[in-house]
Amino acid sequence: MTSKQHPDLHIEEERLDFTKRYIEVIVKTAETSKDQFRRIMQEMFGDEDWQESGRYTELLTTANFFDMSKAELENLKKARGKPYFARVDFTRDENQQEEVLYFGKTSLYQRESQEQIIVDWRSPIANLYYEGRIGPVAYEAEGEHFSGNISLKRQLMIEEGELTEIRDIDLTTTDELLQDSLAKSSSNRLTEIVSTIQEEQNKIIRADLNKPIIVQGAAGSGKTTIALHRISYFIYQYKETFDPRDLMILAPSRLFIDYISEALPELGVEKAKQFTFSEYVQFAIKKKLTIVPDKKLIQLLENKSEETQTAAWASGIKGSSTFKKVLDYFVGEIITRFFPSEDFYCDKYRLYSSKKFKKLLVDEYWYLPVYARVDKLKKILQSQVRSKKKIMLARITDTYDQKIQSALDKKGNPAVRKEYVSKCLDKKAERTADIQKAISTCVKQYFKHFEKKTVLEYYQELFSNPENLVTFSEGGINIEEAHKLCRYQSGLFIKKNYELEDLGPLLYLYALLFGVEKDKRARNIVIDEAQDYSFMQLQALKTASDTDMFTLVGDLAQGIYSYRGLEDWEEVHHSIFPRATYTELKKSYRTTVEIMNEANKLLELLPYRFPQVEPVVRHGDRPKFIQRINSEWGERLLNEMKTMKEQGLRTFAVIGKTAGDCREAYRVLQEMDEKVTLLEEEASIPKDQLVILPSYLAKGLEFDGVFAISLNETYSKQNDLDIKLLYVVMTRPLHRLYFIGEKASDFLFEE
């Protein structure tokens, strides 16, 4: 029903008018002076319409401005055009009083009357909107118990401050707002979905904030979106105690960070740090490294040479839990290098036994990074010297004073006595100087023998001895493999290069040996596309940040980096995040039924059991195959795009299997004078332009219309990687999917 026909139209319009004016009062007052509050109130509400209403008098008599934080004010300003999106009428059992609640992206209330003008979508009571049905409801949320009755659930569409539509939801109506929202065209950027969050998504957003969470979600199930909403919810819940800058979002590429950039301020989470894994590791270990471009995936697609196989194999080993064992063992061995061979002496005084030193190093300070333990022991010895300094010096003085005294007491030749006393005085001065010197140098001397190396030196050392790799892995790596791995690594080190797969072990080693500085550690980490992380990477992040507060979202069916990433969640769940809640999302919100049905067929070709993805019921055209003849395909593509544009669609992508096919497509389309952009890793996505990108870069992104192309490259059923890549491509479009190739079987179709 449009707003004009709704029986409550007048009530809702008046409410909106009131809310908008009240926001203006708050904003204006904050921008001028608090003393002006009453005057502004009169100005905003003093016109005839409002003077007649009882509400105006009430407002004025109770008017009393209260301070808002800068952030709250900013949120309120942002909310001016759309202060809320839903209304719920709820009667609590305990007092039988009906509350009329308006939910929006921020909260606003009148302090005196305690009336909530807008309730934040992240407050516990907003669960009534996301999960409650008309009728009796009862549930717990963050320790609060709700029981009562919902008599009205209403969605309110407001655009630029105007009420455009009112929709009452009851048991029988399907969620039209969701359908509308999904039917819209994409903007090339991720947006917030607060008004249409679904029950299963809401559960993840609000799942226990003190526990890690792992979400296996189908393509388009809203993983990225939900992860960002969960951050927003987290920041809201802990606004008093948690600095948003302690939150870190790890994304697969800068392209992806650009893609989510719009949703961040909308959700108030723009202060969270955003990194790629590679950027973060270099930041944390304070070293700028030369990382060789990650060509393995492409090489695996293009050729199966032994070199490529070795590279992929080495990646797998360096990311495995076996390698964690190697590093743990290695660090254990490094610690023994700090076992002193002798007790600690200052001059002739034994101040600390080596046994005690070892005990502290290994047992007492086990929780500290190795070098921090050594530093701690240094301080202990220094304080030991300081505390014994007086005694040591006093002993010297006493000894020589006694000698002198007894010489003076003796009768005898005065000349001899004099000489003896003078010698004693000299000796005393000499010994005192010795002790003074020893006091200032003994600690330094004692530690002089201990090594001081950088994390890179240690890492390179690890690969200098194949036998050690076998021992450290307790047989997990055999001697041939160890030799092969060492050879592979030395090929990198000679050129002062590292590869992405070295970063997990490096970070882990750094954390254990030196510890990541506090201001470089995150207290809460959100990882998107988590299936592409290796065991070692996740373990390293956990150890480095000293917390298990992670949100991991990913989809194993899109695990195109499985040679180095994860094949299942089990090991990660059990060994790294045992406290984690594991959840699955099977519904897809992005794609139409017709497209998803085709994509689902690919999952059946994979050797693992992936559940079929259930699309939210939204129909569209069936995917279309266009036969490629010479370069005339370019024209057909542009024609189809023109038609789509006429139908209101706005974002389009040509997705090739590899960069090679993309370059070829770029050449053809550019010649036709079309404005196209070839996307490289670090680029940002231009708005309203046709973009060409390879399949592996398209992961996580979405477009209204997608042209999957096969020019020189085809997809093969024999290769799981090909199947997964094609699956990624086919799950990118919101509305239309085209295949352009020589024959349908190039895209793994029967016909």
Ligand X SMILES: Nc1ncnc2c1ncn2[C@@H]1O[C@H](COP(=O)(O)OP(=O)(O)OP(=O)(O)O)[C@@H](O)[C@H]1O
Regarding beta strands 349-352 and 344-346, do their DSSP bridges make them parallel or antiparallel, or are they unpaired? antiparallel
Annotated binding residues for ATP, as ranges? 217-224
Token pair, residue 650, equals: 């706005």
Per rule CB under 6 A, is residue 250 in the interface with ligand X?
Answer: no
Q: What is the rounded distance in angstroms from the CA atom of residue 140 to the CA atom of residue 747?
A: 49
Q: Which one, of 697, 682, 687, 691, lies nearest residue 254 by Cα?
A: 682
Query: From the CB of 266, what's the least distance to ligand X, in Å?
Result: 12
Q: What is the rounded distance in angstroms from the CA atom of residue 708 to the CA atom of residue 695?
A: 9
H-helix or E-strand containing 587?
Answer: strand 587-588
Of 29, 123, 127, 196, which lies in the binding site for ligand X, with binding defined by CB under 6 A? Answer: 196
Q: What is the CA radius of gyration of the chain?
A: 35
The smaller minimum CB distance to ligand X, of residues 110 and 191, is found at 191
Per rule CB under 6 A, is residue 618 in the interface with ligand X?
Answer: no
The smaller minimum CB distance to ligand X, of residues 117 and 560, is found at 560
Interface with ligand X: number of residues (CB under 6 A): 24
The smaller minimum CB distance to ligand X, of residues 191 and 432, is found at 191
Query: From the CB of 192, what's the least distance to ligand X, in Å?
Result: 8
Of 23, 101, 156, 193, which lies in the binding site for ligand X, with binding defined by CB under 6 A? Answer: 193
Backbone angles phi, psi at 157, to 5 degrees: -90, 120
Of 127, 155, 201, 276, which lies in the binding site for ligand X, with binding defined by CB under 6 A? Answer: 201
Q: Are 250 and 527 in contact (CB under 8 A)?
A: yes
Stretch that binds ligand X, among 206-214, 216-224, 387-395, 423-431 (CB under 6 A): 216-224
Per DSSP, the residues of 496-523 read T-B-HHHHHHHHHHHHHHT---GGG--S
Q: What is the rounded distance in angstroms from the CA atom of residue 751 to the CA atom of residue 745?
A: 7
For residue 116, the cross-strand partners are 109
Measured CA distances, 681 to 50, 296, 407, 446 (Å): 57, 15, 88, 51
What's the chain's length in residues? 751
Query: From the CB of 175, what's the least distance to ligand X, in Å?
Result: 9
Regarding beta strands 86-92 and 98-104, do their DSSP bridges make them parallel or antiparallel, or are they unpaired? antiparallel
Query: From the CB of 605, what's the least distance to ligand X, in Å?
Result: 19
Query: From the CB of 177, what's the least distance to ligand X, in Å?
Result: 8
The smaller minimum CB distance to ligand X, of residues 201 and 489, is found at 201
Per rule CB under 6 A, is residue 214 in the interface with ligand X?
Answer: no
Per rule CB under 6 A, is residue 222 in the interface with ligand X?
Answer: yes
Residue 159-178 contact track with ligand X, rule CB under 6 A, x = bound: -------------------x
SS3 string, 149-209, reads EEEEEEEEEEECCEEEEEEECCCCCCCHHHHHHHHCCCCCCCCCCCCCCCHHHHHHHCCCC
The smaller minimum CB distance to ligand X, of residues 156 and 544, is found at 156
Residue 696-715 contact track with ligand X, rule CB under 6 A, x = bound: ----x-x-------------
Per rule CB under 6 A, is residue 731 in the interface with ligand X?
Answer: yes
Stretch that binds ligand X, among 21-29, 95-103, 188-196, 449-457 (CB under 6 A): 188-196
Per rule CB under 6 A, is residue 559 in the interface with ligand X?
Answer: no
Annotated binding residues, as ranges? 217-224
**What type of residue sits at position 415?**
A
Stretch that binds ligand X, among 69-77, 191-199, 363-371, 671-679 (CB under 6 A): 191-199
The smaller minimum CB distance to ligand X, of residues 427 and 587, is found at 587
Other CB atoms within a 10 A radius of the CB of residue 719 amount to 13
Per rule CB under 6 A, is residue 202 in the interface with ligand X?
Answer: no
**What type of residue sits at position 426?**
D
Other CB atoms within a 10 A radius of the CB of residue 673 amount to 8
In sequence order, the 6+-apart residues with CB closer than 8 A to the CB of 70 are none
The smaller minimum CB distance to ligand X, of residues 252 and 369, is found at 252
The smaller minimum CB distance to ligand X, of residues 116 and 225, is found at 225
Query: From the CB of 592, what's the least distance to ligand X, in Å?
Result: 12
Between residue 329 and residue 368, which ones bind ligand X under the rule CB under 6 A?
none
The smaller minimum CB distance to ligand X, of residues 488 and 589, is found at 589
Per rule CB under 6 A, is residue 590 in the interface with ligand X?
Answer: yes
Query: From the CB of 581, what's the least distance to ligand X, in Å?
Result: 18
Query: From the CB of 235, what's the least distance to ligand X, in Å?
Result: 19
CA atoms within 13 A on the CB side of 350: 7
Q: Which one, of 132, 150, 276, lies nearest residue 199 by Cα?
A: 132
- Name the DSSP class of 653: E
The smaller minimum CB distance to ligand X, of residues 651 and 710, is found at 651
Of 36, 110, 181, 436, which lies in the binding site for ligand X, with binding defined by CB under 6 A? Answer: 181
Of 555, 664, 713, 722, which lies in the binding site for ligand X, with binding defined by CB under 6 A? Answer: 555
The smaller minimum CB distance to ligand X, of residues 151 and 174, is found at 174
The smaller minimum CB distance to ligand X, of residues 178 and 443, is found at 178
Query: From the CB of 558, what's the least distance to ligand X, in Å?
Result: 6
Burial of 519 (0-12, 13-18, 19+ CB in 10 A): exposed
Per rule CB under 6 A, is residue 695 in the interface with ligand X?
Answer: no
Per rule CB under 6 A, is residue 219 in the interface with ligand X?
Answer: yes
**What type of residue sits at position 33?**
S
Backbone angles phi, psi at 655, to 5 degrees: -120, 120
Per rule CB under 6 A, is residue 220 in the interface with ligand X?
Answer: yes
Query: From the CB of 196, what's the least distance to ligand X, in Å?
Result: 4
Q: What is the rounded distance in angstroms from the CA atom of residue 16 to the CA atom of residue 143?
A: 32
Q: Are 331 and 370 in contact (CB under 8 A)?
A: yes
**What type of residue sits at position 318?**
K
User: E strands, 657-731, where?
Assistant: 676-678, 690-694, 703-709
What residue ranges bind ligand X (CB under 6 A)?
178, 181-182, 191, 193, 196-198, 201, 217, 219-225, 555, 558, 589-590, 700, 702, 731
